[in-house]
Chain A
Amino acid sequence: MLEGILIGLTTALSLTNILMVIGGCLIGTFIGMLPGLGPMSIIAIMIPVAISIGDPSTALILLAGVYYGAIFGGSTSSILLNAPGVAGTVATSFDGYPMARAGKAGKALTIAAIASFAGGTIGAILLMIFAPMLSNVALLFHSAEYFALMVVGLSAIAAFAGTGQVGKAILMTVLGLMMATVGEGALYNLPRFTFGLLDLQSGFSFITLAMAMFALPEALFLVMNPARSDPAGASGKITDLRITRAEARAIAPVIGRQSLQGFFIGVLPGAGATIASFLGYAVERNIAPKHEQAEFGHGSVKGLAAPEAANNAACTGSFVPLLTLGIPGSGTTAILLGALIALNVSPGPRLMIDSPEIFWAVIISMYIGNLVLLILNLPLIPYIAKILAIPRTFLIPFILFFTLMGAYIGQNNATELLILVGMGVAATVLRFADYPLAPLLIGFILGRMLEDNFARSMQLYDGISFVIERPMTMGLLVIALLLMVLPSLRARIAKARARGIADGD
């Protein structure tokens, strides 16, 4: 491990890469602060830039920096405006916004920054310990297990992303898988579902799809509902960034607990930062003493520190399945996976052996990124927050322009822009109908790999018999089935129970 850390240090500490981390964090914070633009949109917009860099470690370092910056920026807008840019920072606004309303915005931002820093750093240490272990196990996997593992990942994502609407999430996942089959597949290089169109020969572009699924609907929502970008609370001056010793003592154990819990939730596919932050908030409220419990939701420092530590640790945790198994656990890591594949790197257990410098450089850059966020952003926050005052009439055309540019640069093809607009409209309608879009993109990205591994096992075993002959494959597929069936079963049982009990009124 020490050798790996040294490799990582030499790669990450080159001048270019340090500048990339700093630049990425700043860009991420800037854009992440704008309400409605989450890390997924920002990373999608940044991908063409990262890909044209060419060096995979540098590109990944840049994107990881953007990711942290975006999450930090998201908490800033949650605290100052009560307008979380990301689902993962919704819980931050529960206590952060009341604190800002009470004139303690500076203090709230400091607590958020420290909690994020601790969560991210503890997460990076845990990642350093667990990722090599997991990737050793993963080396034993065959294509049959990979196939089964991806099915588990997809069904977990569907089960968690749906929040009571597993059917919709499954439908979106399958739709993503179907879109992945368009174009020339790995099998026999036969064009499939292209309708004879040359533009579809190589399939849908992943960048276009990512832009259309996340950036474009958000921008259209900002257009349709001006209240979403209303910077009403932004005018307040941010002063007094210091926290007292008593407050530091109060939040220290909270941060420790939530960093650990958040990390392990982040490792699970599909759970991610959102669940980690809500769960972290709920757990801390439940174990807090009675008099402190009443404070939650009205500006409690603990209630602010918990989700912040948890969501940052979870973001780091979500890198574990990405780097060791090559399976993304969240929409954001799915986009990162797509970027890596475009850079000719295939993440998976062989990543640590074949290109250790990428693996370790990313981990080291996580430390640097967290430090940058703490040192650079904290004093700059009062100035960065001025971006919230940019009028929407300037902001929205630029957001739309950057989505167009991203799709165009990736393919250098104007037809791609028409596909982008078409799919963006479809995605907006899907958002209106409350269909989750992250499963679609994850299904799309995993589709090719899923089919390749499935095909390889079919060829090795001359048929479907690998499911029965390999117990691990069987076990994983059973888990996948349980993940899909259990939520609806539990809902049914809960409903049946509710029917039996009279409402006490």
Chain B
Amino acid sequence: MALDRWIALIILGVSLIYGYTAWFTMDASLPPFMQRNPIWPSTFPKVLSVMATLAALVILLGFEKAPGRVKKPDMDYRRLGEYKVGQAIALLCLMVAYALLLRPAGFLISTFGFLIIGATLLGERRFHILIPVVALATGLIWYLVQEVLGIFLRPWPFFMG
């Protein structure tokens, strides 16, 4: 089964859960006076769940044939082995780490670390250029966000204020 049909299967599951919530559990908490209304909070989701289920089934069961001329995809998952998936996953992990560290470690340290580690993961080894560039950019962005845009970003770790 091709990837797009696997995805359709997952979306089908999501829309069935969504539909179950809309059709069977959502109305239970509706106050009686609202039940006299022609439209309930669940009305629109009910319609959507049916449409999503139908659309997912159309793709899953292959009713819609792929167009005759197959255009060469821009990125082909069948050639995933040739791509640098490891680097991509490492960068994603780095982003998660950044998300978790941004508050406790402060903006300056976590951003500096993120950019340096990110560039190193991608194969950058000219640290004498990288470190000054990143340090300058980090400081500049912090200044822009904090002072110009007026959005608070804690610069240093929590124990330093």
Binding site for B on A (CB under 8 A): 48-49, 52, 163-168, 170-171, 174-175, 177-178, 181, 185, 187-188, 190, 192-193, 220-221, 223-226, 391-394, 396-398, 400-401, 404-405, 408-409, 412, 414, 417-418, 420-421, 424-425, 429-435, 451, 454-455, 458-459, 461-463, 488, 491, 495, 498
Interface string of B8-22 (1 = CB under 8 A from A): 100100010010010
Which residue on chain A has the smallest CB distance to residue B67? A164
Q: Is the CB of B149 within 8 A of A49?
A: yes
Q: Is B119 an interface residue (CB 8 A)?
A: yes
Q: Report if A171-B11 is in contact (Cβ < 8 Å); known contacts: A192-B45, A393-B124, A400-B118.
A: yes
Instruction: Tell me whether A458 and B39 are in contact (CB under 8 A).
Output: yes
Given contacts A167-B64, A421-B95, contact A181 B44 (CB under 8 A): yes
Contact check, A404 vs B99: say whether CB atoms are below 8 A apart: yes
Closest chain A residue to B94 by CB distance? A400
* A192–B52 CB distance below 8 A: no
Docked complex Cα distance between A166 and B4 (Å): 13
A459-B37 in contact given A192-B45, A223-B91, A425-B92 (Cβ < 8 Å): yes
Q: Is B159 interfacial (CB 8 A cutoff)?
A: no
- Is A429 in contact with B7, judged by CB distance below 8 angstroms? yes
Name the CB-closest residue of B to A49.
B149
Q: Is residue B48 within 8 Å, beta carbon to beta carbon, of the partner chain?
A: yes
Please name 14 pairs of A and B residues whose Cβ atoms are closer than 8 Å in the assembled complex, sorted by A.
A171-B59, A174-B52, A181-B48, A187-B39, A188-B41, A193-B18, A223-B88, A224-B88, A424-B92, A454-B44, A461-B38, A462-B38, A463-B38, A488-B64
Specify which chain A residues have a CB less than 8 angstroms from the CB of B128 in the assembled complex.
Answer: none
Which of chain A's residues have a CB closer than 8 A to the CB of B88?
220, 223-224
B99 and A414 within 8 A (CB): yes
Closest A residue to B21 by beta carbon equals A193
Q: Is B77 a contact of A405 with CB atoms below 8 Å?
A: no
B66 contacts A164, C-beta separation under 8 Å: yes
A123 → chain B, closest Cβ, in Å?
A: 28
Q: When A166-B64, A405-B141, A451-B44 are in contact, do A434 and B122 touch as well, CB less than 8 Å?
A: no
Residues on B with beta carbons closer than 8 Å to the beta carbon of A164: 66-67
Name B52's contact: one of A175, A221, A398, A412 (CB within 8 Å).
A175
The CA-CA distance from A455 to B45 in the complex, in Å, is 12
B84 touches A224 (CB 8 A): yes
Residues of B within 8 A of A185 (CB): 41
Write out, one digit per residue, whether chain B residues 42-73 have a CB within 8 A of any chain A CB (1) or not (0): 11110011011001101100011111100001
Given A190-B41, A459-B39, do A397 and B67 touch, yes or no (CB 8 Å)? no
B136 part of interface (Cβ distance < 8 Å):
no
In contact, A433 and B77 (Cβ under 8 angstroms)? yes
CA distance A409 to B148 in the complex (A): 13
Q: Is B151 part of the binding interface, using a Cβ–Cβ cutoff of 8 Å?
A: yes
Query: A174, B51: Cβ atoms under 8 Å?
Result: yes
Residue of chain B at shortest CB distance from A460 = B38
User: Would B95 and A396 count as touching, CB distance under 8 A?
Assistant: no
Q: Are the CB atoms of B124 and A391 closer together than 8 Å?
A: yes
Q: Tell me if A170 and B55 are in contact (CB < 8 A).
A: yes
Complex partner residue of A171 from B8, B30, B76, B137, CB under 8 angstroms: B8
| Interfacial chain B residues near A430, Cβ < 8 Å | 7
Q: What residues of chain B lie closer than 8 Å to A188, measured between beta carbons?
A: 34, 41
Within 8 A of A (CB), among B89-125: 91-92, 95-96, 98-100, 102-103, 111, 114-115, 118-119, 122-124
* Further 9 A-B residue pairs, CB within 8 A, beyond A409-B145, A418-B99: A164-B66, A224-B83, A392-B122, A396-B118, A409-B149, A412-B151, A417-B99, A420-B99, A431-B75
